[in-house]
């Protein structure tokens, strides 16, 4: 009988598992034309052509997005987003004041615990957690729905998503977001409406 030492077998198994993990994660690019927030300030949403991403809104982020300086904010995707089992999605977004921000804007941001770099950049980094859903058939994107130019980003941006969720499982998670004529995008309950954010831009 041939005996294989466990000490020799473990590194080989670890390598196989690592290769399998890499093979099961597939990157794709999502096009983003608007960042949206729910009327109850609980949900931060990114609506793509195929997928909808709904994140729990951190209270401090909700405060920033209703502040006087919200139109002078830029959102920065610090690295790729990740999607795992059950559609669980996470990533990091940084809100930072644009170059045209005033001294009053900076003081308000500091009061909300924003930080500053030695170069003078005023920012706050958020760890977002939520879920990815498949858009329901016939649901338009934010741009297709005719959102005003003041609320859609200055141009479409591309964000990389690392996908390790099984395709069969993903197709079962239909988005709770629908579009109602005369109202706009709503989340499950028609009373909860999604509004596009009046931001300067997005930097993937």
pLDDT digits (tens, 9 = 90+) for 99-120: 999 999 999 999 999 999 999 9
Is the model's pLDDT at 57 over the cut of 60? yes
Name the range with the highest mean pLDDT among 19-28, 42-51, 192-201: 42-51
pLDDT of residue 192: 77
Is the model's pLDDT at 122 over the cut of 90? yes
Name the range with the highest mean pLDDT among 1-15, 17-31, 78-92: 78-92
Specify whether the CB–CB gap between 142 and 34 falls below 8 A: yes
**DSSP string computed for 110-131:** HHTT-EE-TT--EEEEEEEEEE
Q: What is the pTM of this model?
A: 0.76
Alpha carbon distance 156, 14 (integer Å): 41
């Amino acid at each position: 009988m041939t005996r294989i030492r466990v000490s020799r077998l473990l590194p080989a198994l670890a390598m196989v598992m690592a290769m399998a993990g890499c093979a099961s994660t597939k990157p794709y690019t999502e096009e983003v034309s608007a960042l949206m927030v729910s009327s109850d300030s609980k949900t931060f949403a990114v609506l793509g052509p195929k997928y909808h991403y709904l994140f729990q809104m951190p209270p401090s982020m909700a405060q920033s997005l209703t502040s006087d300086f919200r139109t002078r904010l830029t959102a920065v995707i610090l690295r790729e987003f990740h999607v795992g089992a059950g559609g669980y999605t996470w990533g990091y977004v940084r809100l930072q004041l644009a170059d045209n921000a005033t001294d009053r804007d900076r003081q308000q941001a500091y009061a909300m615990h924003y930080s500053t770099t030695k170069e003078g950049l005023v920012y706050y980094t958020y760890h977002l957690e939520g879920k990815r859903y498949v858009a329901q058939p016939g649901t338009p994107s934010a741009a297709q729905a005719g959102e005003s130019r003041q609320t859609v980003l200055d141009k479409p941006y591309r964000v990389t998503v690392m996908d390790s969720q099984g395709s069969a499982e993903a197709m079962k998670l239909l988005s709770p977001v629908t579009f109602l004529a005369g109202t706009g995008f709503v989340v499950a309950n028609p009373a909860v409406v999604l509004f596009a954010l009046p931001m300067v831009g997005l930097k993937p």
